[in-house]
Every structure is written in C-alpha cells, then in structure tokens.
Chain A
Amino acid sequence: MTKATQTVHEPLLRIAKRDGIPFGKKVLVRAVAILLALVVDALFIFFVTGLNPLAVYGVMYQGTFATPVRISWALRDLATLLCVGIALAPAFKMRFWNIGGEGQVLIGGLATALTMVYLGSSLPAPLLFVAMFVASAAAGALWGFIPAWFKSRWNTNETLFTLMMNYVATSIVACMTNIMRGQASSLGTLNKATKAGWFPVLFGQRYTINIIVVLVLTFAMYAYLKYSKHGYEIAVVGESENTARYAGINVRRVMIRTMIISGAICGLCGFLIVAGKDQTISTTSAGGRGFTAIIVAWLAKFNTFYMALISFLLVFLERGASEIASAYSLNEYAADIITGVILFFILGSEFFINYRVVLRGETHKEGK
C-alpha cells in the first residue's frame, strides 16, 4: 500500500498559489520581467529589423525624456489615462464590468464641446467653465447610470450593456461633429476666434490644469475607496453581493451610486480632453483610453498611486513606440511589437507574483 502511494507520478512543475509575497520580492519579480522583455525585444530588433537594440532602447527612452516639453506631454497623457483609470476603479472594485469608459468619456467631451460652442459667447469665462464641468459630469453620469439601473432592475449583463453604450456615444458624436462642421471639410478647433472655453495657459501649457485636476482626483479616489463608508460598501459588494445584503447594504443603491460616480469622472475626463488638450471633439477623442484604463485599474488593484505608475509605463511605451517609428522610418507596427513584448512580460509577471512554480521533489518548505 505504501509503495502504491510512492509511485504516484509527481509532475516536474507544479503551480501553487502564493499566500503572500514580500514587497521586495514583488519588485524583484517585476524587474526580472522587464529585463527579460528587453532581452527578447533585443533579439526581435536585431534579427527582424537589423538595428542595434541598445540604440533603439535609447531612442525609446528619448520618446518621453528627450526634452522638457516631451516630459510635460507625457505627464499630460498620463493624466488623461489615469483619469479614466480613476473613474473605472470603483466600478471594477465592485466587480461591475464597466467596459463603457470610452463612451462615457466621449459623451462628456461632447457635452463640453456643445456647451462651449453654444454658451461660449454668452457666459463669462468662470461661469462657462462651471457649465462645461457640470454638463460633462452629468452626461458621463447618465451614461453610467443607464446600464447600472438596468442591471439593478432586471439584472442585465453590464459588460454588454456598457459596451453597447460606447457605440451609441460614438455615433452621437459622429452625428454632432458632422452637423457642427457645416460646409467646412472638418470640424477643426472649436471657438477658434474667441478661445472661449479653452483652459488658460498656466506655466506655459494649457493642459497644466488637467494635470492638477487629475492629481487631486488621485488622492480623492484613494481616500474614497480606502477610508470612506462608500468605499467599504463597494469592497463588500465586490467580494460578495450576498454578504453585502446580509450586512444590510443596499446593493442596488451602491451599484447605481458607484456607476454614477464612475461615469461622472469619465465625463469629467472628456471635459479635460476638450478644454485642456484638443479644443475639439471627434469620435477618436477618447482614443481607446476607456479600454486601456481597465488594464491600468486592474494591474494596480485599484490603488490610484500604483495606477499612476502603470499609466506612466503605458504612456512611456506608447511614446517610445512612435519615436522608434519616426527615428528609424520603421512601420509603427514593428515599434508596437517592441512595446507589446514589454507589456506582455509585465502582465505575465503578475502571474508569478500570485503563483509560484514548485519543482519536483521540492517540499512545501515555503508554503507555510
């Protein structure tokens, strides 16, 4: 009998869940992942494009850090992406799959654009900004409220619903921009003559306000999720709806309230994009950030400060890719592969943070 148990085949590798991992080791795993990614990339760069990998990495770094103004652009892009991430974090923490960030940003941006165009000449600047702010947040909140209400009422699938709302928003924006451009070939910047509703230039840049607003939001959302009663309710609902109900939490109300907040911040992001960055609206104003921000929020486990780091990484990779494409006249797809490999390894490293690989014969000496 004892012999039989001994002959049970033990696999060479086993995957075991980690109970916890010290901070230092976490950092180490990620660092190794990045290094391995750079090695794989170096092989790709050398064998496929025939370029010197080290020179390519240098160019990639310069995409963000070559000049002070590039650093400030990277900060602006970071702020935009992070803002959507901050907006999505409470929804995802509640396990409400809000795939509709894109549409919520767009509809907020459209509300901003319409307000600045139609009220631009009649309202004084401070009031106009208030109106734009309110309009964008309300539009985004509405876009978040609708799927949440349907979910709480009829338990509709929020993933599909929010996704569909993206298409609705995109089509409305396409329709409105087509009307607003009139006989011109394209819409161009809004209120070009009066600059009404454009953020004032602070420290040399119009988007300085964007960065400040997102900085404030980063702290506010961190505190909201971590220290407020609402934040606690969100966490409980996300862990188990039944537990939440048992504890006397009104799940419906938490769901609707959280999605209104999520949508409103997305809408606010649309406001920042239109007033501080593009000064126009188009179907590509959100630029896929509604989806990228999901990665940001999840990777950071909804910690807004980690989210800032991950946003920075994504912006750095994106800027690096386009700089590589520009500097070497490479097709942008090739540059995207280079940054894609890095992202792949970083995402992969999360696996090794949550799980460990146990070799045959190794006992559970660490598994206590």
Chain B
Amino acid sequence: MKKVLGILMAAVMAFSLAACGSTGSESTGTTSEAGQTAEAASTSDIKIGAILVGDETEGYSAAHINGIKEALSNLGLTEDNVIWKYKVAEDSACMDAAEDLVGQGCDIIFANSYGHQTYMVEAAEKYPDVTFVSMTGDFAALTGLDNFKNAFTKVYESRYVSGVVAGMKLKELVESGELTTETQPDSFDADGNIKIGYVGAYNYAEVVSGYTAFFLGVRSVMPNVVMEVMYTNSWFDIDKEGAAAEALIANGCVIIGQHADSTGAPAATEKMLNSGRICYSIGYNIDMLDTAPNAALTSATNVWSVYYTEAIQAAMNGEEVPVDWAKGYEDGAVAITALGSSCAEGTAEKVAEVEAALKDGSLQVFDTSNFTVGGETVTSAPIDLTFYDYSTGSPVALYQGETKEAITDGYFSESTLRSAPYFALRIDGITEDAEPVA
C-alpha cells in the first residue's frame, strides 16, 4: 500500500514540477503572443482600463461593456486594448483597481459607477499622465485637474420619448373605452385624472430629472394624468422594485415607469396584467420584452458606445477628452428599445416625430410653459454646482462651484451646466411617497 502511494505521489510530484516549470514560460509566451497579435490586429497600442461595478450579468455594467466593445470595433481596436476590472466595489477596491490599471500601462481609465468618483479623483491626483473618467460623476470640472473627466448621457430625452409611448397607450385605453371610471375606478383621482406610477431608486436629482421628463412625455399626449413616485433606496433590488410596482398598481396606477436597474417592476406589472388588471410597464436600460411580453411597452436606454468612441478616439489622437460630456438624441447617445406588441397603434410614427423634434431642438423637454411648481410658472432656477460633503450634518463645500441660472429661452436647460443631471424641481402633478417601499 505504502509503495503504491509512494509511486502515486512521485508521479504527481513529477507532474507538478513539470507544471510549475512550464507555467512561467507558458504564461510569458502567451503574453508576448498576445502583444504581437495586438500589434498585428489593432491599429493602435492605446491601453484602456474599465472599472465596472458589476459584470455582464448585471444590466447597467453590461450596457457599458457593450458600449466599450462597440467603440473598439468602431475605432479598429481589439479587446487586447482593454483591461477589464469586474465587480469593483465603491471603496478602496476602486483605488486599487485604478492603480493596478495604471501599473499595466493604461492611458485612459473609465469607472462606471457614481460611488467610484471620490476614489477616481484621488487616482487622478496621483497619476497626472493618465486620464480618468468617472461616468455619471458630477465634480470633475470643479477639481481643476486636467486629467479628470465626467460623462453622462441626456437620458432624460429618451425618458420623455418613453413617456410619449406610455401616453399613446393611455390614450388608446381611454378612447377604446377599456379604461373608464367604471372598469377600473381606482385609477382615477377625485378630479378625473388618470394615475400613473414610477419606481425610483433614490430621491436625488438624477432620478427627479428622469421621472419629470417621463411625466412630461406622458402628459404631452394625455394632459389629464397624475403620477406617484415610490423609492426603493437601492439601484438594484429586484424584490423591492417588484413590491413598489405592485403597491403602485394597487394604488390605481395604470403605467409603471422605473429608474432602477432590475426587471422587478416589469415582472410585477406583467403578473398583474395577466391577472386582469389594466397596467403597463416602461423599463430602463434593457429591453424588458423577455420579462414582460404583454406589459412592457418600451425602455429608455443609453447608447454608451457614442461616448466611448468619442473619448477613446480623443485619447488615441492625443486630444483632450471632454471634461463634461453630455449628449442625447442629436448624436444618437440615447434611445428607446423596440416597441412591444401592446403599444398603441400609431406609436412608432408619433415616436419618430418626437425624436425628430428633439434632434432639431424644436422640442425642449423641460419647456417652462409645460409645467408649474406650486401653481406658478418657473422663471428662474439657480443651480449651485458646488460639491458638498454633508456627513457632519451641515454641508461643507469640497469643490467650490458657481451658481448658474438653468432657465434660458423659456426652458430649463438640463445637462449643459455639467454632465450630471441637476433638475430637482418638484413639479405639480407628481407626488413622491415620503416612505420608501418596505
């Protein structure tokens, strides 16, 4: 027995020695090979670092991964030009990832989550030769660093268009007599307005800007609507988003919009629709038709490849990457996903018309003639761009910014003073629930 064991061990040892011996040479072999193929296939030796809060199994990061991959093929680059860092938490792990990417020779490094920003700025201070981009961040312009950037799409434009899709559906439901005070009485308030709902992640400007745009889109088609917003206090919580959607539908909401990353709300809406309730869903980020084939109308989405192409190209050419990048329909940076089969007739034509108006600038989402605050038309909206630290209870300015007027030419100009949204007016017709969903 001992002999057998001895022979076995010797064999394993020998194998392992061989394995260890060849490991080193093997791996250097592949790296140099990879280097050669990169030179052969790729038109540039630029190194791009991607710090992602999730991986391809999570919708938000998946959209960024696809955006970067598309940008690569647009620019004639290959995946050898990118180093991916998946599932990087919003703590010192982000700083580690950034330093590691710098160490591996990256020229430009993107981090895709807002919470990465305070770590990215530290990395930018430490490595002035590398460009750092904090996607969805909001203080790059204030730091005075010329290698620290922010970018965000004008996603509120696509939310407006998705609102138009929902409005068309409401109009059809009412005109066909399917939705009346008799068929679904709790969907109308005391003044006869139709109730719609919105599942929001957190109570701050990015979400407020989005749901207001969505609401204005609905109201551009159906003037008599009111909206209830319920928060989940999480960017990704499938159970809470589902629970919020169910609660909103129970309160009478006919349309459920969302600014949260999971499929929870469309799935819940589909379930309620199939049980005989009149309710439809507008998603975010990804096409929700797989989740909710009957209830999903469309989703508002970002086309990140437009930004990544522009930024990477600038970095390749040694030009400056924009400090505050924000683009929308005009440049194809936002869109809505394919229209579901439940959409009202004529939706596609209406969408095309609205999209064209957004592109040529004849339509402004936050036109002050379309909304009121406290019954009054808004004529002035000063925006304080300063980045504050609130942790002690009283705001302390970390990066001092100017206070600028956002209302120009009769509309609230979103994403022009900086890329991250700042529309935080609470307009009439929308109520936010004080308590987040349980």
Q: Which residues of A contact B (CB under 8 A)?
A: 28, 32, 35-36, 38-39, 52, 54-55, 57-59, 61-62, 67, 69-70, 73, 117-118, 178, 180-193, 277-280, 282, 284-285, 287, 322, 325-326, 329, 331-332, 359, 362
Contact = CB atoms under 8 A, between A and B. Distances in A.
Contact of A182 (B15, B26, B391): B391
Contact of B55 (A28, A186, A331): A331
Interface in B58-115: 79, 83-87, 89-92, 96, 99-100, 103, 114-115
Contacts of B79: 329
Given A32-B9, A36-B12, A188 B392 contact: no
B103 A67 contact: yes
Contacts of A187: 391
A35 B391 contact: no
Contacts of B16: 35, 38
A136 B84 CA distance: 36
Contacts of B396: 193
A117 B396 CA distance: 12
A135 B24 CA distance: 48
B377 interface: no
A183 B89 contact: no
B391 A331 contact: no
B115 A54 contact: no
Nearest to B204: A185
A186 B114 contact: yes
A242 to B, nearest CB: 42
A326 B90 CA distance: 18
A183 B138 CA distance: 13
A37 B158 CA distance: 51
B355 interface: no
A14 B86 CA distance: 46
B140 to A, nearest CB: 14
Contact of B27 (A55, A185, A287, A326): A55
Contacts of B22: 54
B26 A189 contact: no
Residue of B22, B91, B398 ringed by the most chain A CB atoms within 10 A:
B91
Nearest to A187: B391
A329 B61 CA distance: 14
Contacts of B206: 185
A180 B86 contact: no
A93 to B, nearest CB: 32
Nearest to B121: A192
Contacts of A32: 9, 12
Interface string B9-45: 1001101100100111011001000000000000000
B391 A54 contact: no
B26 to A, nearest CB: 5
A282 B93 CA distance: 13
B26 A332 contact: no
Contacts of B236: none
B27 A59 contact: yes
A178 B57 CA distance: 27
A78 to B, nearest CB: 14
A189 B24 contact: no
23 contacts: A35-B13, A54-B27, A67-B100, A69-B99, A73-B96, A117-B392, A118-B392, A182-B390, A183-B204, A183-B395, A185-B114, A185-B115, A188-B115, A188-B118, A189-B118, A192-B398, A193-B389, A277-B92, A278-B91, A280-B91, A282-B91, A287-B89, A362-B1
A326 B85 CA distance: 6
Nearest to A287: B89
A58 B96 CA distance: 21
A54 B19 contact: yes
Contacts of B122: 189
A79 to B, nearest CB: 13
Nearest to A62: B27
Interface in B183-229: 202, 204, 206
Contacts of A191: 389, 391
Interface in B380-405: 387-393, 395-396, 398
Interface of B: 1, 9, 12-13, 15-16, 19, 22-24, 26-27, 30, 55-57, 79, 83-87, 89-92, 96, 99-100, 103, 114-115, 117-119, 122, 202, 204, 206, 233, 387-393, 395-396, 398
A159 B204 CA distance: 40
Contacts of A186: 90, 114-115
A332 B86 contact: yes
A181 B391 contact: yes
A117 B389 CA distance: 10
Contacts of B398: 192-193
A36 B11 CA distance: 11
A120 to B, nearest CB: 8
A183 B388 CA distance: 8
Contact of A285 (B15, B91, B100): B91
Residue of A36, A58, A117, A331 ringed by the most chain B CB atoms within 10 A:
A58
A332 B61 CA distance: 14
A281 to B, nearest CB: 9
Contact of B19 (A38, A73, A278, A362): A38
Contact of B57 (A54, A62, A331): A331
B27 A58 contact: yes
B392 A54 contact: no
Nearest to A34: B16
Contact of A332 (B30, B83, B87): B87
A20 B86 CA distance: 45
Contact of A181 (B87, B92, B390): B390
Contacts of B84: 326, 329
Contacts of B390: 180-184
Given A183-B204, A184-B390, A186-B115, A326 B83 contact: yes
B86 A54 contact: no
B1 A359 contact: yes
Contacts of A184: 204, 387-390
A35 B14 CA distance: 11
A55 B30 contact: yes
B123 to A, nearest CB: 12
A284 B16 CA distance: 38
Residue of B99, B115, B233, B388 ringed by the most chain A CB atoms within 10 A:
B115
A92 B85 CA distance: 37
A336 B395 CA distance: 42
A191 B84 CA distance: 30
A180 B389 CA distance: 9
Given A57-B23, A184-B204, 4 more contacts: A39-B12, A69-B100, A118-B392, A325-B55
A185 B55 contact: no
Given A189-B118, A193-B389, A326-B83, A182 B23 contact: no
Contacts of B9: 28, 32
A192 B115 contact: no
Contacts of A192: 118, 389, 398
